Every structure is written in structure tokens, then in C-alpha cells.
Amino acid sequence: MIQNLFYVSWGVCPLSHRHLQLLGPRRSVLLAGVGSRSLTSPLLSSSNRALSSLSTTRRGLPKEKMSENGMMSRAKVLTIDTMNPTVKKVEYAVRGPIVARAVELERELSEGMKKPFSEVIKANIGDAHAMGQQPITFFRQVLALCSYPELLSDSTFPEDAKSRACSILNSCGGNSMGSYSPSQGIESVRQDVARYIERRDGGVPCDPDNIYLTTGASDGIVTMLKLLVCGEGATRAGVMISIPQYPLYSAALAELGAVQINYYLNEEKFWSLDISELQRALDEARLYCNPRALCIINPGNPTGQVQSRECIEDVIRFAAQERLFLMADEVYQDNVYAEGCQFHSFKKVLFEMGPEYSETVELASFHSTSKCYMGECGFRGGYMEIINMDDDVKAQLTKLLSVRLCPPVPGQALMDLVVNPPQPGEPSYERFIKERTATLSTLAEKAKLTEQVLNTVQGISCNPVQGAMYSFPRITIPEKAVKEATQPDMFYCMKMLEETGICLVPGSGFGQREGTYHFRMTILPRTDKLKILLNKVQEFHLKFTQQYS
């Protein structure tokens, strides 16, 4: 039921005109599963509604009405019309209506319903373990030891796993992962994160006091945006985000009531970032809001590009000149596949640009346990590093975080292992390296495979997947289909799901230049499955194109 509800009532009204349009020519089929419950409130029959208008509270709101069986029945306190309006504006396509329909299709298949496919393949979300990627053994050994310290006397566990577990437990109150950590995160973990950053950035110093452990990267990003929003009307805070973007950003800005300032990545140049486009977007935005921050995702989500060092320098210079707070989402820092591409952290480049920049430009950068070779999304581990933040604001940040007490301690422990993995000479080192290398090289193969196969299809054109975990190919949708559906890419993806069982996310969920259409597809399915998936996409696209030509 909830899936049906979703599909039709994700927007404000259960069945708005916009939704009907969006459904396109197949609307009658798609709506077949919608029950009456989502169309009328269970408490309000039509006669009730008439009655309810007769009785009002002192504030003019409908209060009570007599139902048909004579019982007093009350209008809801919390309705779509009286709820927080900013929440209604939030959209998050990665888990939107298509995914809800995919879950429903899975259920229908399991109930024996006949479909043109035997399995739903979810290529909508960067959820590596769900797609079969195996966890790093060492990480899980340490987590088991921390969960149940009796295992410390078990001789089958390697000594380095035990010593790592002891050091984590020693940093926990009462030596238990069940105690709260400091709000900013366990101190020894923050120290390990700082040392990791120093190694990664070739010795650029990192102060553990600038590290905040978070509940996944999302938590850190939302928290930073929360600090930045202020103002009303023409002085309302604006935040620059790339288009295409990861919809966490648009969702958070909508909820916080901030202005989303779009800058477009250059699809023709491998989704690169042009400073002239940043300038255009900023200059236009200054007319109606107060631009305060610039968000960058590198390697890119959903677009998979890896930024060059020069480009990062330009962005930093731009932020300095235009007085923008920089937010660098670097959760894919280990996911770089293309030859000639390399990950450069914003922090490192900033410090190499000299004190004029390194002592002034305000930067927050984000990392997570969910991506890279770990893919440990479920643990919700992450950190952010803040550079050049005003001391008073920092105190406010720490205070704000104290209200939510602390990030999950198992996620903190996992983050510690990611930044402090087995070292050469330790018993777990070889196995760790073998597992990490295997995962990353498989991902690199799949990135290449995806690009290659998609580019063989007429009407699909795919930039190289230089990094991250997604392809974001451009698709040509025939005029006839464009005319029939309000959101042609949503229509395309929904049709693909219904006909092939493949769950993708339409480009409109990430943003795209008007008149262009895309989808995001993860490269995470096992190689054999990915080949099947790519073939099916190919077949579907040809069929779809024929049908609407």
C-alpha cells in the first residue's frame, strides 16, 4: 500500500495534474494499483466533509464533526495543508517513486505474478554490499571484537585486529561501544583521521580539533549548510551547487529554506567545471540572494568526472575572490579509475597555494565509510574537516552537534579503521591489500565496460566514468515521447523498470540542461549481471526509440 501511496502522492496533492502528466501515456496502467485510501481520507466521507465545515475552533479550523454512526470524529491536527511547508518542497530522487515501484515489483514477483523479467536489478543507489561487494575482513574482525570483547581471547583472530580493537575500546567510556562518545567524535579516532589526512596530503598539517565525526557524510553536509543559512527575501542565503548534483544538496537547501544556485557542468568536456559558468551563475544569483557557499563533488556524483588540479586551484581562487565558503564532498576519493586522472584534495591544493589562500579560505571537506573500496553504507560513519572556521562559529557547531549526542560509535570505529588500516609487517596487511585492490580494480573494469557498451547504442552517449560509482549517459528521447510525458526521462525510466526490471534514476532527479535527458546507473552490479543489465538497457532503448518514432 505504501508504495502505491508513494507513487501517486509524493507531491503535495495525492493526484495533482502534474502527476497525471508525468505518468504519460501509461497512466491508466500505472494507476491501476492505487487504492481508495490514498484518494480519500479514511476519516472523511463526503458527508463528513460537508458537516465539518459547520464546526470550527476559535482559530477557524475545522474541529469536530458527527460521523454517520453518530460518533464524534475529529479533523486531523497534522495534514498536508498544515504541515511544515519546507518539508513538502524536499525531493530525493535516489529513493523516489521509481524505487518505490521497484520494491513493489519485487514483491509482486515473489508472489508469483508474471512479469517480462525474473528479477529486479537496483542500479539506482551506490549500495555496494547490497550488490554483492564483500566487506574488508580486517574491518569486520575488529568490529566483532569491539562488539563482543570476550573474543579478544579467541586465538583465531589476528593480533593486529585485537590490538586495534583494544585501542578503540580504550577510547570508549567504560570500554564499551555502548557508551556515548564526545559529540565531536572519539578523540583518538579524530587523531587517526588527522594523521590520515596528513599522509594523504603529503604532509600538510591537520589539527584533530578540526575533525568532526559524522553520521555518514550526509549528516556533515546538512550540518554545515545549517550553519550557513540566514536572511530573508533578497538577502536570503544562497548556495551554489553543480547541475547535475547529488540531490542531498537540493533536498537540504529546500528544507532549510535557502536559495539553490545552479552552475552547470560541461557535458561536452567530460562534465568538467568551467569558472566562467561559476561566474555567470554567481552574478545572476547576486541579484536575488546572498550567495555564501560553493559546493563541489569530486569525484563527481552522478557524473563520475575527476577534477584536475588546475581546476581545483581555479575554484579556490574563485571562492576566495567572491567570498564563498567552500564545501568539498570527497567521499569518492579512492574511486578513481581513468588513466591520467588522480584525486587531489581541496585541502592539499589550498595549502599548496600559499598562505594568501591557506590562511583565509574557509573550507569544509567530507568523507565517509560508505563508498571507496569499503562500501560500508549501513554503519553511517563519516567525518568532516573544517579549515579556517571562525572560532566562535566552531563553538556553535560543537554545541549544535551536542544536541544529537554523538554519531553512532560502530560507525566511528569503522571510520578509524578506514583511516588506519593494517600496515606493512602487520599480520592482516597482505589480505587487506588484496581485498582492497580486488574491489577497486573490479570497479575500474566495470566503469570501462559501462562506458563502452553504452556508447555502442545509437541515441545513448556516455562520458568516461573517470571515478565515483555511476555513469550518467545522455539519452535521446523521440519527440513523440517527449510530447506525451511531462518528465520524459522519468517516463523512460519507469517504462524501462516495468519492461526489464532495471531500476535507474532519471536525470531530472539530479538536474540537467533543459531539453537534455539522462539517467544515472551505478556500476556496482556483479560483472556478469552488469553485462546482462547493459544488454537489456540497449534492447530497451532501441525498442523505445522505434515505438515513439
Which positions from 405 through 434 interact with its own copies, judged by CB under 8 A? 405-411
Among 399, 434, 480, 483, binds its own copies (CB under 8 A): 399
Q: Cell digits for 408?
A: 553512532
Q: Are 437 and 388 in contact (CB under 8 A)?
A: no
Cβ 528 to its own copies shortest distance, Å? 16
Q: Work out which of 360, 452, 527, 535 binds its own copies, going by CB under 8 A.
A: 360
Q: What backbone torsions phi and psi does residue 364 show, to the nearest 5 degrees?
A: -120, 130
Residue carrying C-alpha cell 590520515: 196
Chosen residue from 29, 83, 275, 433 binding its own copies by CB under 8 A = 83
218 binding its own copies? (CB under 8 A): yes
Q: Residue 309 corresponds to which amino acid?
A: R
**Does residue 513 interact with its own copies by CB under 8 A?**
no
Report how far residue 163's alpha carbon sits from residue 360's, in angstroms, rounded to the nearest whole number: 40
Per-residue cell: 98:
521509481
Helix axes 429-455, 527-547, angle to 10 degrees: 20
Using rule CB under 8 A, residue 356 touches its own copies: yes
Report the alpha-carbon distance of residue 447 to residue 444 in Å, rounded. 5
Nearer to its own copies, 239 or 485 (CB): 239
Q: Which three cell numbers stand for residue 528?
A: 556478469
Give strand ranges (E) for 472-513: 474-475, 502-503, 505-506
Per rule CB under 8 A, is residue 270 in the interface with its own copies?
Answer: no
Q: Which of residues 248-267 bind its own copies (CB under 8 A)?
A: 248, 251-252, 255
**What letter would DSSP give residue 292?**
E
Under a CB-based contact definition with an 8 Å cutoff, are residues 8 and 34 in contact?
yes
Residue 227 within binding range of its own copies, rule CB under 8 A: yes
Of 395, 438, 441, 452, the one binding its own copies by CB under 8 A: 395
According to the binding rule CB under 8 A, does residue 215 interact with its own copies? yes
Kindly tell me which residue out of 380, 446, 495, 518 binds its own copies, with binding defined by CB under 8 A.
Answer: 380
CA 44/CA 245 separation, integer angstroms: 41
**Does 18 interact with its own copies (rule: CB under 8 A)?**
no
Longest dimension (CA), the chain: 80
User: Considering beta carbons, is residue 142 or 453 the nearer one to its own copies?
Assistant: 142
Q: For its own copies, which residue of 403, 424, 425, 514 counts as binding (CB under 8 A)?
A: 403
Per-position x/- string for 115-144, each x denoting binding to its own copies as judged by CB under 8 A, each - no binding: ----------x-xxxxxxx-x----xx-xx
**84, 342, 452, 535: which one binds its own copies (CB under 8 A):** 84
The footprint of its own copies on residues 40-69 (CB under 8 A) is: 41-43, 57-59, 61, 63
Using alpha carbons, list the distances in angstroms from residue 336 to 69, 229, 330, 469: 66, 33, 12, 9
The helix/strand/coil state of 255 is: helix
Could you say whether residue 145 binds its own copies (CB under 8 A)?
Answer: yes
Q: Tell me whether residue 150 or residue 268 sits nearer to its own copies (CB atom).
A: 150
Round to whole Å and give the CA distance between 213 and 171: 14
> With contacts defined by CB under 8 A, how many residues of the chain interact with its own copies?
132
Minimum separation from the CB atom of position 178 to its own copies (A)? 4
**According to CB under 8 A, which residues from 315 to 334 bind its own copies?**
320, 323-325
Nearer to its own copies, 210 or 420 (CB): 210
365 vs 328: CA distance, rounded Å: 5
Q: Does 185 bind its own copies (CB under 8 A)?
A: no
Stretch that binds its own copies, among 23-31, 194-202, 208-216, 509-517 (CB under 8 A): 208-216
Contact at 8 Å (CB) between 420 and 383? no
Return the amino acid letter for 73. S
